[in-house]
Amino acid sequence: MSENNFSRQPAPAAIKARMAELGAWFEIDLDDIAFNLRSIRERVGPGVEIMPVVKNDAYGHGLLPVVAALAGEGINWFMVARTAEALTIRSAGIACGVMNMDALYTDGQYQRIVEQDICQVVYTLAAAEKLNAAADTVGRKAGVFIKIDTGLRRVGVPYGEAVGFIEKIAALPHLEIRGIFSTFMLHPEQDAEVLARFRAIMDGLAQKGIDPGLCSLAASHGIFHRPDAWLDMVRPAMSLFGVYLDDEDRAAGLPLRQALCFKARIEHLKWIEAGDTVTYFGRFTAPQRMRVGTLHVGFYDAVPRELSNQGRILVDGVIRPSIGSVSLNHYLFDATGLNVEDGDVVEVYSRDGENDVAGVSETAGWMTYSLLNHLNPFVPRIYYRGNAPVAILERDIAG
């Protein structure tokens, strides 16, 4: 079913014709995502299941095209943060398991989760009992993943109560435990305790003869640095999209390719004279006569305001500095000496080089995580395989 999502897309020529009308777009290389998945598989080995975390629109890459592509690569499970994301995957007809971390508030929500065969995260007895009742009404068993709080103290059943809690869940007749999971704190000393607590829970369940299903602790950081925590399942997120969080991750020996590129067309070119100021607050003063290019993108599209007079843009194969402040919808650069015209395409973020996602983030003082999670959902996404566009995602801003 996953490839059907691409067979229903316009032909490459039609996608290119639409791109000619766009002022800005994100390009996502599905071959790069597949490469990253292979790298992770090779690292963790064939005995470890991979559950991609595709919350927040697959970290800005577009939920359904990414899920469809990964399902086509043999992925069986996906984790989402919102019920709407889970229902969207189900409505697309993609055959896969979906773990929903969102809280549920109404009987109708519980029933819909069961009807759509979505695996719900539970960590309170009240929620588990409501899901059990909904499953009884629907006439089928409901799958659950149990979230354990091993020290992060956000949500989850406290680790000291986890074995007894899971024993109660296992006794509910209409629930089926598909797995248990927790989250590292990204603190080396405390993470050793987190792993010890989680393993103690696994041992306690084994002593009681309770099958916990898939046991999962490692997300991207754990894949990089904690092979002792790979267990039955790992949950990559940023790493699947080829983005390292820091230099420590880059040194971990896991080759990745950044899948995303942010492209924009030059909206306008003009000459300014020495002494002319540019943008709000006169943030830049021309030291000489200059040619200035304007792009119709800004901090609405995840061009950080901190890039004022600091940004780097790839123009005609050359890195050029941004000038002036970053406004809501405009971003300017020095085009002096370049052979470019209105409508030419530049790279706001490149896949590699000093203006890749890591470079832009570092210059702005942002986390790479923050940059990707601020990508404007209304900027079109174009998906490539074999250097050809195979899908386009455009959202209706009018709803």
* Domains in the chain: ranges and CATH: 30-241 (3.20.20.10), 260-393 (2.40.37.10)
pLDDT given for residue 1 in this prediction = 45
How far apart (Å, rounded) are the C-alpha atoms in residues 135 and 43?
Answer: 38
How far apart (Å, rounded) are the C-alpha atoms in residues 359 and 370?
Answer: 13
How far apart (Å, rounded) are the C-alpha atoms in residues 3 and 8?
Answer: 9
**From first to last of its 399 residues, what are the pLDDT tens digits of the chain?**
466 788 899 999 999 999 999 999 999 999 999 999 999 999 999 999 999 999 999 999 999 999 999 999 999 999 999 999 999 999 999 999 999 999 999 999 999 999 999 999 999 999 999 999 999 999 999 999 999 999 989 999 999 999 999 999 999 999 999 999 999 998 888 999 999 999 999 999 999 999 999 999 999 999 999 999 999 999 999 999 999 988 899 999 999 999 999 999 999 999 999 999 999 999 999 999 999 999 999 999 999 999 999 999 999 999 999 999 999 999 999 999 999 999 999 999 999 999 999 999 999 999 999 999 999 999 999 999 999 999 999 998 876
Provide the 8-state DSSP code for 355.
Answer: T
Q: What angle, 0 to 180 degrees and rounded to 10, lies between the N-to-C axes of helices 107-115 and 125-138?
A: 60
Q: Are 372 and 260 in contact (CB under 8 A)?
A: yes
Q: Are 275 and 32 in contact (CB under 8 A)?
A: no
Provide the 8-state DSSP code for 237.
Answer: S
pLDDT given for residue 188 in this prediction = 82
pLDDT given for residue 399 in this prediction = 66
Which residues of the chain form beta strands (DSSP E)?
A: 24-29, 49-50, 77-80, 97-100, 119-122, 142-149, 157-158, 175-181, 214-219, 233-235, 260-272, 277-278, 284-285, 290-295, 312-315, 318-323, 331-334, 345-349, 381-385, 388-393
3-state secondary structure of 53: strand
